[in-house]
Amino acid sequence: MSIRRMIVVVAALAVAGASCSESGSDEGSSPSPSSSASSSPSPSLTPVTPSPSTPAAQPGPVTPSAAEEIVTGLAAPWSIAFVPGSDGQALVTQRDEATIVLVDAAGTVTPVGPVPGVDGSGEGGLLGLAFDPASPTDLYVYATMGSQNVVQRTTYSDGALGELSVVIDGIPAGTRHDGGRLAFGPDGMLYISTGESGDPDDAQDLGSLGGKILRITPGGDVPGDNPFDGSPIWSYGHRNVEGLAFDDDGRLWASEFGDRSADELNLIQAGGNYGWPFVEGIGGAPDYIDPVVEWRPTSEASPSGIAYVRDTIFVAALRGERLWQVPVSGETAGEPAAFVTDDGRLRDAVVAPDGTLWVLTNNTDGRGDARPGDDRILRLTLTP
């Protein structure tokens, strides 16, 4: 049976300071009781004063007002993709088991099947999913296969996957920084986020697909209007991007894990250099593009999946164990506010066909404190 509860805003903010990633991982593990992001914050928590680099506050047009637990018992889930034309059904990847399951709003979980050849450890495994809006049965899957990450295309119909074929490979893989998010743009192209797999130099190397956002056709070709001739690279200088979302005007937003100083929300420009490993967070360096929002320290966020709805970006935070709401207006952003603070690590946020927001917990991935029912999907009601 689902559990419905009210959501209380906790705090606004990016806090000045620095925090080292735990165990060499962006995603870290659940904060210890002595940390600033320890147990679930209470509604009476005093708001944190924004750092000087945080943009001026703006009223957020969309706010979560209630959360309902609709799916339980998932194993290290990573990505949600709604099935086109269905009545709120979605596919979910389970990273470590390399399986895909079908879930519905009633909480039913139905196995779909494994993705063969997945071979990953740490942050690698079966990661992102995306349906092609122009060809609704075509499903794209991002997975670690040994020393590389690969994007494959298959079909999904009548509860089953079809044959898989590679659309792009050669993306560096490792036990951390594997990227993994997929998103189709309004231009019909497939955008792919990658990490530098622990090798910072890859982020600046235009000969490597690591530490980039890639853009390809649905068939895997390089579009003629990409910024680097013959290359799938759309932007570079990224450490580890795990969230992609397009706004109503077709702008691409991306969340990015920082190292020891700041996590980022970036507005992506074709051919743009986002600075890693030379700059982290808002640095003001003329050769690199600064993020629109930063979180300091990194324990406040470790941002993974993001969703855009009505001038608001929602950011699922892992180490931060909260859902950040970021109001946006054009190319500017207001002050982030925190919601969903008592459900542990959050991996993905996706807008459902009915306008609600589905949020995926991630407490069974080896870094969280799993509780009965984990991992879960929460359905959030959004209000103006």
pLDDT tens digits, one per residue of 3-34 = 566 565 554 544 333 333 333 567 876 443 33
At 195-248, the pLDDT tens digits run: 999 999 999 999 999 999 999 999 999 999 999 999 999 999 999 999 999 999
The half-sphere exposure of 81 on its side-chain side, counting CA atoms within 13 A, is: 27
Q: What is the mean pLDDT of the chain?
A: 89
Report the pLDDT value the prediction gives residue 54, as an integer from 0 to 100.
44
The full set of domain ranges for the chain reads 4-383
| Residues 149 and 143: beta-carbon distance below 8 Å | yes
Exposed / middle / buried, residue 320 (Cβ in 10 Å: 0-12, 13-18, 19+): buried
Q: Which residues contact 127 (CB under 8 A, 6 or more apart)?
A: 78, 79, 93, 95, 142, 143, 144, 149, 178, 179, 180, 181
* Cβ atoms of 378 and 335 closer than 8 Å: no
Closest CA to 313 of 346, 296, 342, 337: 337
pLDDT score for 3 = 58
> What pLDDT sits at residue 45?
24
CATH number of 4-383: 2.120.10.30
CA distance 363 to 346: 8
More confident residue, 46 or 302: 302
Whether residue 345 contacts residue 26, with contact meaning beta carbons closer than 8 Å, is answered with no
Is residue 110 very low, low, confident or very high in pLDDT (cuts 50, 70, 90)? very high
Model's pTM, two decimal places?
Answer: 0.90
Cα separation of 318 and 20, whole Å? 15
pLDDT score for 192: 99
Q: Residues 223, 228, 232, 237: is their CA dihedral positive or negative?
A: negative
**pLDDT tens digits, one per residue of 294-342:** 999 999 999 999 999 999 999 999 999 999 999 999 999 999 999 999 9
**CA 45, CA 314: separation in Å to the nearest integer?**
21
CA geometry: angle 263, 265, 271, nearest 5 deg: 110
